[in-house]
Structure 1
Amino acid sequence: MSIFFTLLAKIIPLYFSVFLGFISTYLLKCDKETIAKILLYILAPLIVFNATISVKLDLQVLFLPISFFIFSTILAFVLLFLFKKIYSDNTANLLAFSTSTGNTGNIGIPLAILFLEPKLVDIFIFSILASILYQNSIGYYITAKGNFSAKESIKKVLKLPVIYAFILGIILNLNGIKIPDMLFSYSEFLKGAYAILGMMLIGMGMEKFRSSNSFDIKFISFTLIIKFILWPLATLIFIYFDKNFIHFLNNDFYMIMFLFSIVPLAGNTVTVATILNVKPEKMSMAVFVSTIVSLFYIPLVLYLYMN
């Protein structure tokens, strides 16, 4: 029970940010599209650049974001094919995009700090580049394709600065160039701003819940099953085969991978849905429900994994 209450204390402030987002739109009439653009075009590229240039690169460390990015990409296109048989509109695109990633930043990082050693926390943060890059490239393309042609969607992806921030960070890292010490504290402020605004955006999307058909039980059920059953199951299968046959990673990396797989839906999916105008209210509700479920789900699966 101590694990549960410790985790609960870490997550509760996130719900306060969701509430602030709801108030800012409902009472202050703030524009959620502006916040979404700040997250996507300013904060995300800066965070990606900082993490990419700072981490010590080796094969095991590189394997984590690369493997998760590939898994997310394959899963997204498979789910898009399947959901197109169920939905005739862009709901299929939104489902495929959102369930192939997770909230590895706002919830994943506190989990990593709670359960991992400091050096492993840095590796976990580097691994979440897989989520950020997927959400801002392949995921963005799949979601945009619900409203735009393939050519138009690719053009939109190529305009995203996070891709170029990642490439620049890798180039500088490989050449031994690091961020000056005086900017370290500023990078922490960026992470805090990204976490708070990202969760606020979920609350801002809830402002229209009462006037739209946002609570779609079938949509939410699909997201929960894929995120909370399929993701950890696929990760455990990989861990089993690597531990018994391949022997490429160790138990520390297994724990990083498992934490990565059990987080709820990503708040950034609301950002993309808002910018592309693909049912952002429905996406906000699904993210909020999955975050509530994760309060009870995460302590349970961690207990089972550790034992």
Structure 2
Amino acid sequence: MENLAANTLMGPLLMLLGFVGLGWLAAQMLRVDPRPIATLLVYLIAPLTFFRALMDGGPTPDYLLLTLILFIVSSAIALTVRGLTHQRFGAQEGALLAFSAGTGNTGYFGLPVAMIVLPPEGITLYLFSILGITLYEFTVGFYVSARGQFSVRQSLVKIARLPLLYAFLAALLLSHLDVALPVSLMTSLEVFPATYTLLGMMIIGMTLSQVTLAAWDTRLVVACVVLRYGLWPLATLAIVLLLQSVVALSPELAMAILLLGVVPMAANVVVVAMELGIAPQKGALAVLVTTLMAPFLIPLYLSLMLRLTGLG
């Protein structure tokens, strides 16, 4: 936990913002179309990234329980927000807000930060935590988003086509059967986590290159900021305090949970919005605002939350 100084975190956080800038330049100067990259992330890079993480970490009942808890928390938040706001926003904007409410940029953005502030055991705990959130994104979240544009049947068909679900089940099956993948294969898969982060952040910039002022939606942006930097920090802080009161919670797990609450909006908001055609430009602007706030808020939030939980 000694790597929480603002000057230590600022460099990596600004680097991630730099990837957003690279995406903007790629779209502006090279005319790179972000839509096929979004499809590549959803159908290839994300599944292989999490498949490798699961095979490398070795899923245990405790780890999978953590995944299940985060999946339930994310789904409950998204469905609650959807129920409370669907009449106050348009169909697409409401779907976008509900999807974003249940997730955050825990992968593209949060994973590099976790690798700085957490020891190896903590990184494994963090990976299984974000797996629950990612499973939410590509099941309940994807369904909520699709329902802003498609019928129930069409939405379920789109979920059934998502390979992340099958990558998760394949990893569980191989682990249960004690099947070890060849070292050469695991080594070759090492390129995917870095690719996942790079392209996930760049796609924000690529989408922003197509944005006009007409896409700015103040109500949507404010709602997204409140949910991301208001609700989620309080939710993760409450989870840690609750767990501390009933079990001996390790500092690594507490830190992994707290980190989930302070990352910016998920870049997958843009990826999924682009894949489904639900206001990706509005989503990109909201993601940009929360991402620009992150270098200033993350060190502040983490320091305060660690003090409140007695870990600082």
Select the residue among 21, 38, 50 that pairs with 1:36: 38
Q: In 2, Cα distance between the equivalents of 1:171 and 1:295?
A: 39
Q: Which residue of 2 aligns with 1:191?
A: 193
- How far off its partner does 1:25 sit? 1.7
- Is 95-104 or 106-115 further displaced after alignment? 106-115
Report the 3-state secondary structure (helix = DSSP H, G, I; strand = E; otherwise coil) of the residue aligned with 2:148.
coil
TM-score in terms of structure 2 length: 0.93
Alignment match, 2:144: 142
Q: Which residue of 1 aligns with 2:206?
A: 204
What is the percent sequence identity of the aligned residues? 33
1:153 Cα deviation after fit: 0.3
Partner of 1:26: 28
Correspondences of 1:38-187 after superposition (within 5 Å): 38-187=40-189
Aligned to 1:221: 222
* Letter of the structure 2 residue corresponding to residue 299 of structure 1: P
Distance 1:56 1:158 in 2: 25
1:238 aligns with 239
Note the alpha carbon deviations across 1:177-212, whole angstroms, 9 max, x for none.
Answer: 1232223332221111111111111011111223x5
Q: CA deviation at 1:63?
A: 2.4
- Structure 1 distance, partners of 2:160, 2:198, is 27
CA distance in 2, matches of 1:251, 1:31: 43
Q: Distance in 2 between matches of 1:203 and 1:87?
A: 25
Whether contact under 8 Å (1:263, 1:294) holds in the other structure is yes
TM-score by length of 1: 0.94
Check the 8 A contact 2:114/2:256 in 1, yes or no.
Answer: yes
Structure 2 residue matching 1:57: 3-state secondary structure: coil
In structure 2, list runs of 5 or more residues that go unmatched: 308-312
> What SS is found at the alignment partner of 2:125?
helix
Aligned residue pairs, count: 305
| 8 A contact 1:264–1:290 mirrored in 2 | yes
Report if the CA contact (8 A) 2:91-2:149 is conserved: no
Partner deviation per Cα, 1:227-253 (whole Å, 9 max, x = no partner): 111112122222222212x21643321
Q: Give, in whole Å, the separation in 2 of the partners of 1:166 and 1:2.
A: 32
Worse-matched range after superposition: 104-113 or 37-46: 104-113
Give the alignment's Cα RMSD to 1 decimal.
1.7
Q: CA deviation at 1:58?
A: 3.2
Partner amino acid for 1:254?
A
Note if contact 2:95-2:147 (Cα within 8 Å) is conserved in structure 1.
yes
The offset of 1:2, in angstroms, is: 7.5
Alignment partners' CA distance in 1, 2:115 and 2:158: 35
- Equivalent position amino acid for 2:113 in 1: L
Q: Tell me if structure 2 keeps the 8 A contact 1:22–1:204.
A: yes
- CA deviation after TM superposition for structure 1 residue 7, in Å: 0.8
Offset of residue 30 of structure 1:
1.5
Once residues 46 and 111 of structure 2 are traced to their aligned partners in structure 1, the CA distance between those partners, rounded to angstroms, is 15
SS in 2 for 1:209: coil
Q: After the TM superposition, which parts of structure 1 deviate over 4 Å for at least 4 consecutive aligned residues?
A: none
Contact kept? 1:49, 1:169, Cα under 8 Å: yes
